[in-house]
Amino acid sequence: MRYPTVLFDLDGTLVDSGAIILASFKHAARTVLARDVEEEQIAALVGGSNLHDQMRVLSPAHVDELVRVYREHNRPLHDELEAFEGVEELMETLSEQGRKLGIVTAKGRQTVDLAFAVLSLERYFDAVVTADMTDRHKPDPDPVLKALELLESEPAEAAFVGDSPYDIAAGRAAGVFTVAVSWGKIHPEERLLEAGADVLVHSPRELLGVL
């Protein structure tokens, strides 16, 4: 196998959460700021820094309130969460091959657990790096390097799979092979390629071939 260690982003890569995220951002902006926020502006924030930093872009004076309202709206929506088609089969195959698997996400652990409670994905992963585990976040390499440390892996033997330019930048900075996926539909394919992804794939089956 080319990459004995494979790291994955969560939102837009493993789980189809783009619509949920956009809806909760819009709800928070309308409720707290009494204004609408363009989907393009929201999408540009998704996948990088933690939620507090994302909300700071919308309004530095209302960060805590925006986060609170976002989470109140977002938590119940996780009951509807689904993995992308073919993802569970991909995880099963990679696990059977004996690969070390990890998640690197900008979400906090509590929110990740909401997804794990609905989807049977947690059992596949030997490490889950969340926003509260590093001081710096994607596009900084620290979360990726933290996952490699937990898995006792070297960058040269690892790939990082994600759907955002932040994933690609973090992976490149950490020295791992970077794979961009197109199925998240949050970030345009051209932005993923501009970020320097080593390869862009369009299905879990194609991803398996790359790995």
Active-site annotation holds for 132 = no
Kindly report the backbone phi and psi dihedral angles of residue 193, in degrees, each rounded to the nearest multiple of 5, phi listed first: -70, -40
User: How many whole angstroms separate alpha carbon 19 and alpha carbon 27?
Assistant: 12
Residue by residue, DSSP assigns the chain as: ---SEEEE-SBTTTB--HHHHHHHHHHHIIIIISS---HHHHHHHTTSS-HHHHHHHH-GGGHHHHHHHHHHHHHHHGGG--BPTTHHHHHHHHHHTT-EEEEE-SS-HHHHHHHHHHSTTGGG-SEEE-GGG-SS-TTSSHHHHHHHHHHT--GGGEEEEESSHHHHHHHHHHT-EEEEESTT-SS-HHHHHHTT-SEEESSHHHHHHH-
**Catalytic entry in 9, 11, 16, 142:** 9
What positions carry a catalytic annotation?
Answer: 9
